[in-house]
Amino acid sequence: MDKFTSHAGIPVPLRRSNVDTDQIIPAVYLKRITRTGFEDGLFSAWRADPEFVLNKEPYNRGTILVAGPDFGTGSSREHAVWALQNYGFKVVVGPRFGDIFRNNSGKAGLLIAVVDQDVVERLWDFAEQNPGVEIEASLVDRTITAGGDTYPFQIDDFTRHRLLEGLDDIGSTLQHADDISAYERTRPSFKPRTIPVRTAG
Amino acid sequence: MGKTLSEKVWDAHVVRQAPGEPDLLYIDLHLVHEVTSPQAFDGLRLNNRTVRRPDLTLCTEDHNTPTLNIDRPIADPVSRAQVDTLRKNAAEFGLRIHSLGDADQGVVHIIGPQLGVTQPGMTIVCGDSHTSTHGAFGALAFGIGTSEVEHVLATQTLPQARPKTMAVTVTGALPDGVTAKDLVLALIARVGTGGGQGYVVEYRGDTIEALSMEGRMTICNMSIEWGAKAGMIAPDQTTFDYLQGRPHAPEGDDWDAAVEYWKTLRTDDDARFDREVVIDATQLTPFVTWGTNPGQGVPLGASVPSPDDFADEAARSAATRALEYMALTPGTRMRDIAVDTVFLGSCTNGRIEDLRLAASVLKGHKIADSIRMLVVPGSARVRVQAESEGLDKVFLDAGAEWRAAGCSMCLGMNPDQLKPGERAASTSNRNFEGRQGKGGRTHLVSPAVAAATAITGHLSAPADLAN
């Protein structure tokens, strides 16, 4: 994973709450077997509407999505994160996120910046009143700077550390393979195994 | 201070703890399906990694699979490629797979319990948010994304931050005609879609204890719909009776040792939850959704709300959008809403008990001329069981379609979809915009309401049929 320290880009105001992952990318777009090519599915139902924010200049070039509460709820599909990244988004700012979506974002390198709802309102206003003016998200400082204003955002220490260093989670865990083996030796014999196959038929 | 059920299961799976890091948890069972796994297997290949524990991994095909003509190649080439990819990956990495046409194929959350690989006290993950279903057995079960799928394949562990704990205590007898589905829909309407974020929830109280395993699974299944990390129910005699004799249930001395351990999986009397919610089951009635998230629901006897009914600005604007999408007018009685499709199935309500309940309502009736009703068993074995009980005849005689097992119209990845503007009463779990097909409109209901609605053509409960 690439290291993430800070990013400056055009903010996109998405004035909606409860944007579930089915809205971010509908199921019919989930059939690809790669991590790329999902940008066409991003918000596909809404992009049919010419008035939708991503159909307008300069927001179609935006890289920082400013979302309402409960963004990314529902399905666990990491394709929602890939669709945002494939489109060009690097950061999603919002007051509250679905847990699995937030986890997936951390793993895939999309920064989730949690701020209060009143900061979201101010960023929405800023994005609409200053179309095309970039804002900056600094992971080092945990801040978002828009115009002359700087707002703190929340992110857990461990995810921040991983993003800053660009760490590979699996590689880190495999360094503790001995601990895993030691744990496995303590597992009771009644725990089920899927192999050899047993079936009622 | 004592521990809650979820804390006991969590603590029993910690492989490693270090300051400033999440706990590294061991995973007892990893369920895999075709949609969220291809990129994870690619990642393994790219890094020359292997699957650490094929014997704790189980694959099935469910999301893309058709429910008609399952003996032929899948017609949609993209769906077929995804399913074929899972088959190839299972063969390459030595994993057990139940493919379309296999006796044990079915929706991943139906087949785990059915095979008895879902047991109390386990940690269970799957690249699917409804993995919370397995919590009905007292397992800690949660959905993960594809990066985490790869992590579990490679290491059989996951780094996880310790969640907060919540109790949902339900007391009193459910009134006639009120099911586990109504209970969980009413709960979500009360706490909101974000109410459970950051929590593992334990459902408890005499109402929960009186539920069958099927009912418990329905409730735990929808934990994710109010944002909870997982939902759990303490195992008891009902759990043990369900498991005993299943293909992968322990046997002999192992069974005795397992039950002895399982009986310890209860929240201690002096344990404390971070939050508690109390529900009086005796006040519940059949519950249905009117909007585009599972929290936008009302009793069947109520009317479509007005955005003005909501104090919170975000809820008000969400209601306005939802009413527009659903083409509903505030004040319309829910019972006056006509539907054209009824879907009975899914990991929420596709088990044998759900089919029995719907069949008992439909028996001797015909569905309305205006209605298309799809009955999709949750697994191939549920289908066989239903046929052995003659339920298929009841559905077919009533005018419904009797299909093969899979996720089907719950998410419309296969050909079973709503057309734009169509309106469904659905026993599934999500009424999101376009979830069941682009432009489709979904009302979430119980199997009993689904069956009664199919007969009358508009949202109804079985009690309405007598009038």
Query: What confidence tens digit (pLDDT) does each residue in B271-281 have?
Result: 999 999 999 99
B81 vs A68: CB contact, 8 Å cut-off? Answer: no
Instruction: For chain A, say whether B263 makes contact (Cβ under 8 Å).
Output: no
Give the bridge partners for B278, in sequence order.
B169
pLDDT at B431 over 80: yes
Taking the C-alpha atoms of residue B187 and residue B201, their distance in angstroms, rounded to an integer, is 12
Beta-carbon contacts below 8 Å between A and B: 220
Residue A107 and residue A54 in contact, taking contact as beta carbons nearer than 8 Å = no
Q: Angle B205-B238-B117 (CA atoms, 0-180°, nearest 5)? A: 115
Residue B180: the pLDDT is 98
Q: Which two tokens stand for residue B304?
A: 């479509």
Chain A residues in contact with B93 (beta carbon < 8 A): none
| Alpha-carbon gap: A69 to the closest alpha carbon of chain B (Å) | 8
- A66: which 2 tokens? 């400013």
Q: Say whether pLDDT at B228 is over 70.
A: yes
Query: Which residue of B31, B102, B147, B418 is the best one to mutate when testing the A interface, meaning the one whose CB has the most A CBs within 10 A?
Result: B147
DSSP letters of B356-421? HHHHHHHTT----TT-EEEE--SBHHHHHHHHHTTHHHHHHHHT-EE--SSSGGGTTSSS--PPTT
- Determine the residue among A15, A16, A17, A179 to mutate to test chain B binding: the one whose Cβ has the most chain B Cβ atoms within 10 Å: A17
- What's the farthest any 2 CA atoms get from each other in chain A? 69
Q: Please choose, from the candidates B201, B225, B220, B227, the residue with its C-alpha nearest in 3D space to the C-alpha of residue B293.
A: B225
Query: What residues in B contact A190, CB-CB < 8 Å?
Result: 250, 254-255, 257-258, 261
- Distance between B314 CA and the closest CA of chain A, angstroms: 6
To the nearest 10°, report the CA torsion of B144, B150, B156, B162. Answer: -40
Q: Which amino acid, B346?
A: S
Per CB-CB distance under 8 Å, the chain A contacts of B261 are 188, 190
Q: What is the mean pLDDT of residues B385-398?
A: 98
Nearest CA-CA distance, residue B411 and chain A, Å:
7
Q: Is B243 on the interface with A (CB under 8 A)?
A: no
Shortest distance between the Cα of A15 and any Cα of chain B, in A, equals 9
Q: Which residue of A has its CA nearest to B76?
A: A31
User: What tokens were used for B126?
Assistant: 């799957």
User: Which residue from A minimizes the CA distance to B38?
Assistant: A33
Count the alpha carbons within 13 Å of B128 in the hemisphere toward its beta carbon.
30
B63 Cβ under 8 Å from any chain A Cβ: yes
B89: closest chain A residue by CA: A33
| Closest Cβ–Cβ partner in B49, B57, B128 for A76 | B128
Q: Tell me: the pLDDT tens digits for B52-95? A: 999 999 999 999 999 999 999 999 999 999 999 999 999 999 99
Provide the residue type at A89 as one letter. Answer: F
- Name the residue of chain B whose CA is nearest to A182's CA: B15
Q: Residue A180: closest CA among chain B residues belongs to which residue?
A: B15
- pLDDT higher than 90, residue A17: yes
> Of all residues in chain B, what percent carry a pLDDT higher than 90?
99
CA distance A82 to chain B (A): 11
Q: Do A192 and B116 touch (CB under 8 A)?
A: yes
pLDDT at position B181 over 90: yes
Element (H, E) at B153: helix B146-155
* Both structure tokens of A29: 């777009």
- pLDDT band, residue B331 (cuts 50/70/90): very high
| Residue closest to B43 by CA, chosen among A102, A171, A80 | A171
Given CB atoms, is B227 within the 8 Å cutoff of chain A? yes
Average pLDDT value over all residues in chain A: 96
Q: What is the rounded average pLDDT of the residues A101-127? A: 97
- Say yes or no for a CB contact (<8 Å) between B115 and A78: no
Bond before B286 cis per omega within 30 degrees: no
Overall size of chain A counted in residues: 201
Question: pLDDT by residue (tens digit) across A73-85?
Answer: 999 999 999 999 9
By the CB < 8 Å criterion, does B93 face chain A? no
Structure-token pair, residue B70: 């399952």
Question: Chain A: nearest CA to B227, how far in angstroms?
Answer: 6
For helices A99-108 and A79-87, give the axis angle rounded to 10 degrees.
50
**Residue B467 confidence (pLDDT):** 61
Mean pLDDT computed over A93-104: 97
Interface of A with B in 116-145 (CB under 8 A): 117
Q: Which among A17, A183, A191 has the least Cβ separation from residue B15?
A: A183
Interchain CB distance below 8 Å, A18 and B293: yes
CB contact under 8 A, A200 and B151: no
The overall average pLDDT reported for chain B is: 97
Q: What is the pLDDT of residue A56?
A: 97
Which residues in chain A are contacts of B143 at CB distance < 8 A?
A: 76, 100
Q: What is the pLDDT of residue A200?
A: 84
The answer to whether B39 contacts chain A (CB < 8 Å) is yes
B-chain CB neighbours of A74 within 8 Å are 129, 224-225, 430, 432
* pLDDT of the residue at A2: 87
pLDDT at B314: 87
Q: Does B258 touch chain A (CB under 8 A)?
A: yes
The answer to whether A35 faces chain B, any CB pair under 8 Å, is: yes
Q: What percent of chain B has pLDDT over 70?
A: 100
The minimal CB distance from B412 to the residues A27, A33, A157 is found for A27
A195 closest CB neighbour out of B54, B321, B430:
B54
Question: Residue A1's pLDDT band (boundaries 50, 70, 90)?
Answer: confident
Q: Which of B218, B198, B215 is nearest to B207 (CA)?
A: B215
Q: Is B237 on the interface with A (CB under 8 A)?
A: no
B108 pLDDT higher than 70? yes
Question: What is the residue-wise DSSP string for B46-70?
Answer: HTT---S-GGGEEEE--SS--SS-T
Under a CB-based contact definition with an 8 Å cutoff, are residues B442 and B431 in contact? yes
CA of B284 vs chain A CAs: smallest distance (Å): 25
Cβ-count burial B278-308 (b if 16+ within 10 Å, e if not): ebebeebbbbbbbbbbbbbbbbbeebbbeee
Q: Which of A16, A183, A194 sits opposite B58 (nearest CB)?
A: A194
% chain A with pLDDT above 70: 100
Instruction: Using DSSP, state whether B159 is helix, strand or coil.
Output: strand
The answer to whether residue B137 scores a pLDDT higher than 70 is yes
| Chain A nearest CA to B456, separation (Å) | 31
CB atoms B47 and A170 under 8 Å:
yes
